[in-house]
Chain A
């Protein structure tokens, strides 16, 4: 048992550090900068950094070299992320869905010509992709999608509405699951496409979230034409494709939440705030809450180390590591609430308006959304119960009923 790199990992880490030193500045060498950039500027910088990374294979470490990746291992991707975190580089989150979900889905289901056309621009940050799954009538119940696709010659005509589409406002392309046959039971009547977000009839409207920000959108489809050549999977086989995409999404969502407070911040705050005329840190109730929160936070970190060990050994971490998503969001809710409680009335005063993404109150609001996005806590528990503990699937009364005969 140790926490050291293997010799190969150490070599890779040194290689990554040398590359980062040549292309970026260490955070420790930079003045602290907590000003948020306007979105257009942030995107411009993200594209430039993404292109630098992509040119040397670091934009997609685990992808095969033929797609512009490094042909590396999952543990190498982790090592890169660990090292990059020490450098002041632009946030490339704009490309996360495209590279993390859409491209892997294309790689599984698209033609070689399509991959030739789309993968490279996505990798270099030239084209941005989004994922259109959730609808007003179905979030957790993804297979209840109602957005209709009707065959018309070589095309499909799509009508309906998607919701919670991250980054649709920046996106050039999207992947979408549609209802192609409402007379079939719900899982059997779905068909999956990718399409040009600038197609006539596509309208993106921002959703204002409880944080005040607008990272998500509603996307409306009015007689949008999608060529059949852009279908992924078979007609009626959309569910299988969607499941593939979601597996990639949950890998993405298990990561640590950027900016979540750590033990040092919590303890410093408890030292400098008062309770009953004494520093709050001296109060047993406060100490207990800190201990409980820390035990979960540290426990999750240690569980991640176990997953990394499996990656390092070339194994795939089991679905048990889906607990990351299930724990980290409620933990953020707990710690941000704790910190606001420590601040008392000051806790309700916003330091910025609109809130900035590193503000405590932003984290607190965000945590409610994180418990829902990419599989609600309840859906994650179903998945863990079924895949890890071997519990039977839920009884589904809608399973063998034609979709257009379902109530609701």
Chain B
């Protein structure tokens, strides 16, 4: 039994943690939150030069070829500090989708650019008022042109290129389209979300020129496969944030005195902290299994990814929310960091399939297993 990261991966984690502590303090998150920067450009550049962006991209395509487990380690650390960077969009999701679906020349073209951070990609899948399903996609891809509106698109306002999940009128219905977002037939509108420290846009495509990514009509299958991979990486981002929320609450419970003693000596507070710890620990178990499934391309990946996402969303929401409760009034102020975690937790819970969808997927998969 070796269900843990290796010594080298833990050394990497320590290193990445130090890097983020220096490069991405809360002031950097607030700079983006307050609208003074679209994302943390310096953090992004430094990560690129350290090889962190290309960790799961093979050396053949300009990555550092470290592996998925290393990507998980990096995602968790980014989550701890709420790094306001397009790591998830460009690396965890778009690069995976291109690796999975792209032709060799598309990989040759895009992956090195994504690994160096010079190009930022996003995946445009959500549409206002609809749940993202194969049968309910309004944006169309016809004759090499994309038409329609995608919103909200995570990092849509800072990305150079988008992979647009489109309906193509064919029998199986969905194709993926690469669209250059600097084209004049793409309109960007900034969207303010519950967590403005991560960029969001509404993208309107008015017959924007597009390049097919992957086989026509196979788009939904490819999207789902890449989404499972991305879900594991997002789960790590979430457990990083969840653990940090617990730590902040714990530190405060030791330091804050009420009724003549540290509030952490009251069972009401102690038990609340343990509830957070338990949820985070279980979510960590699921995330690790997701990491294993991702790194070995195991057939368990869809279930593992769903479990990782559902448990990490619940854990991060709970820890961030209850951390404010432990803090009392100070936790409700703009100046305290608690709300940064609360908002990020909610954002990530909604950003890539909600908990109901992932839990539904869990039960559907278990049903198949029992039927077999």
Contact = CB atoms under 8 A, between A and B. Distances in A.
B106 interface: no
Interface in A132-152: none
A316 to B, nearest CB: 15
A302 B288 contact: yes
Interface stretch (B28-36, B40-48, B75-83, B361-369): B361-369
Contacts of A303: 281-282, 284-285
B265 A389 contact: no
Please give me the 4 A-B residue pairs with the lowest Cβ-Cβ distance, nearest first: A302-B285, A299-B282, A385-B270, A291-B359
B69 interface: yes
B61 interface: no
Nearest to A393: B265
A308 B356 CA distance: 32
Contacts of A378: 267, 271
Task: Decide if the interface of chain A is mainly helix, strand, loop or mixed.
Answer: helix
Given A298-B307, A389-B273, A389-B277, 18 more contacts: A290-B363, A291-B310, A291-B363, A294-B362, A295-B282, A301-B285, A302-B285, A303-B281, A303-B284, A306-B3, A306-B288, A308-B1, A323-B281, A323-B282, A381-B267, A389-B246, A391-B264, A394-B267
B55 to A, nearest CB: 16
Interface in A275-326: 281, 287-288, 290-292, 294-296, 298-303, 305-306, 308-310, 312, 320, 323, 326
Interface stretch (B144-152, B168-176, B289-297): B289-297
Interface of A: 1-6, 9, 75, 263-264, 267-268, 281, 287-288, 290-292, 294-296, 298-303, 305-306, 308-310, 312, 320, 323, 326-327, 378, 381-382, 384-386, 388-395
B278 interface: yes
A395 B269 CA distance: 14
Contacts of A264: 370
Given A287-B360, A288-B359, A323-B278, A4 B2 contact: yes
A1 B278 contact: no
Given A291-B310, A308-B3, A309-B1, A1 B282 contact: no
Contacts of A9: 1
Task: Decide if the interface of chain B is mainly helix, strand, loop or mixed.
Answer: helix
Contact of B261 (A287, A384, A392): A392
Contacts of A382: 267, 270-271
Contacts of A393: 265
A394 B265 contact: yes
A391 B265 contact: yes
B348 interface: no
Given A287-B363, A320-B281, A323-B278, A309 B270 contact: no
B253 to A, nearest CB: 7
19 contacts: A1-B2, A1-B288, A2-B2, A4-B2, A263-B370, A264-B370, A267-B366, A281-B367, A292-B359, A294-B363, A300-B282, A302-B288, A306-B4, A312-B1, A390-B254, A391-B265, A392-B264, A393-B265, A394-B265
Nearest to A300: B282
Interface string B328-367: 0000000000000000000000000000100110110011
B264 A384 contact: no
Contacts of B4: 1, 306, 309-310
A389 B310 contact: no
B291 A295 contact: no
Contacts of A299: 281-283, 285-286, 307, 311
Contacts of A381: 267, 270-271, 274-275
A27 to B, nearest CB: 21
Interface string B102-131: 000000000000000000000000000000
A326 B69 CA distance: 30
